[in-house]
């Protein structure tokens, strides 16, 4: 499959017609080049990159999906929505969509590739709860890591909840790590609790996930910079759960993050 083929399947919500491992021959570096080529195609037709998603930062789900390291992909203006606590998201033309409750950072500056945690803290503008809607164009969510990378990092949509200024949460990186690691959530479908998680599930802390991503980004030939104004969603606190139009899901984060609800169309 060419990058245009991958994009066509993403646009239409059609499953891939190839077997797992065939798109990039199992090669992660080759898969990122396919993803970057698809990014160029989306930019050429008028879409705007708005930041990045980091996936597979929750080590507890690695064996389930046969992916054993974080990956990343682009967040697009066409799939990004902000709300103050309740939002609507369309699942139209997604394939096997699933929901992931996450922490989202808004960037105020471009950090150096080897930024310390203190420097990363200084580069953050705000923090918010988020729901990433992920998808797989291979059956039953069975894929190799290279498939997940080539498939846009599995990203489909991102709903960002109430944003809190960085300085309202912490005075430095150490305190922010403590705050986010200690935050907990209950994920509900309607009123039913289906999963629970904590910020410590995300590579021990979402700030550490951001640092890991930044280093990976700069090791990828041709990858873009992380820019002021970008959003970065840092990975799921729970497993990824299948979703359908008409459903309402809620992430009940403990203080200081706020409750986030989404209804799917």
Phi and psi torsions of 82, nearest 5° = -110, 145
What is the rounded radius of gyration, in angstroms, for the C-alpha atoms of the chain?
17
Closest alpha carbon to 223 in 4, 23, 42, 37: 37
pLDDT of residue 152: 97
**pLDDT band per the 50, 70, 90 thresholds, residue 23:** confident
pLDDT of residue 248: 98
- Domain positions in the chain are 3-264
Computed over every residue of the chain, the mean pLDDT equals 97
Phi and psi torsions of 99, nearest 5° = -110, 140
DSSP secondary structure of 193-210 = EEEEEEGGGBTTSHHHHH
Q: What percent of the chain has pLDDT over 90?
A: 95
Q: Under DSSP, is residue 22 helix (H, G, I), strand (E, B) or coil?
A: coil
CATH number for 3-264 (one of 3.40.50.1820, 3.90.850.10, 3.30.360.10, 3.40.50.300): it is 3.90.850.10
pLDDT tens readout for residues 35-44: 999 999 999 9
Is 220 a residue whose pLDDT tops 90?
yes
pLDDT of residue 21: 84
pTM of the prediction? 0.97
**pLDDT band per the 50, 70, 90 thresholds, residue 22:** confident
Residues present in the chain in total: 265
Closest alpha carbon to 262 in 94, 141, 84: 84
Closest alpha carbon to 105 in 233, 226, 215: 233
Is 117 a residue whose pLDDT tops 90?
yes
pLDDT of residue 254: 93
pLDDT tens readout for residues 74-101: 999 999 999 999 999 999 999 999 999 9
pLDDT tens readout for residues 171-199: 999 999 999 999 999 999 999 999 999 99
Cβ 38 vs Cβ 11: under 8 Å: no
Closest alpha carbon to 108 in 93, 98, 123, 94: 123
Residue 150 — left, alpha, or beta (φ > 0 → left; ψ -120 to 50 → alpha)? Answer: alpha
Measure Cα distances from 48 to 44, 59, 74, 176 in Å: 9, 31, 10, 30
Cis peptide before 256 (omega within 30 of 0): yes
Is 25 a residue whose pLDDT tops 90?
no
Is 138 a residue whose pLDDT tops 90?
yes
pLDDT of residue 258: 94
pLDDT of residue 41: 98
């Amino acid at each position: 499959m060419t990058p245009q083929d991958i994009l066509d399947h993403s646009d239409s919500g059609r499953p891939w017609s190839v077997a797992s491992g065939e798109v990039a021959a199992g090669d992660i570096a080759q898969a990122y080049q396919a993803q970057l080529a698809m990014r160029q195609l989306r930019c050429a037709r008028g879409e705007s990159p708005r930041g990045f998603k980091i996936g597979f930062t929750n080590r507890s789900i690695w064996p389930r999906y046969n992916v054993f390291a974080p990956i990343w992909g682009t967040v697009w203006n066409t799939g990004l929505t902000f709300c103050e606590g309740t939002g609507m998201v369309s699942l139209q033309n997604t394939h096997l969509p699933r929901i992931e409750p996450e922490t989202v950072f808004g960037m105020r500056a471009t950090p150096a590739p080897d930024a310390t945690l203190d420097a990363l803290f200084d580069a953050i503008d705000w923090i918010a709860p988020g729901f990433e809607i992920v998808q797989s164009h291979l059956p039953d969510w069975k894929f190799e890591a290279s498939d997940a990378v080539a498939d846009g990092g599995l990203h489909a949509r991102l709903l960002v909840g109430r944003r809190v200024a960085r300085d309202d949460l912490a005075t430095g990186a150490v305190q922010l790590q403590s705050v986010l690691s200690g935050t907990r959530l209950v994920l509900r479908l309607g009123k039913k609790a289906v999963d629970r998680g904590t910020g410590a599930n995300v590579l021990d802390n979402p700030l550490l996930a951001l640092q890991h991503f930044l280093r990976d980004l700069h090791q990828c030939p041709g990858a873009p910079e992380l820019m002021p104004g970008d959003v970065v969603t840092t990975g799921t606190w729970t497993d990824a759960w299948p979703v359908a139009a008409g459903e309402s899901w809620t992430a009940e984060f403990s203080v200081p993050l706020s409750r986030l609800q989404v209804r799917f169309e």
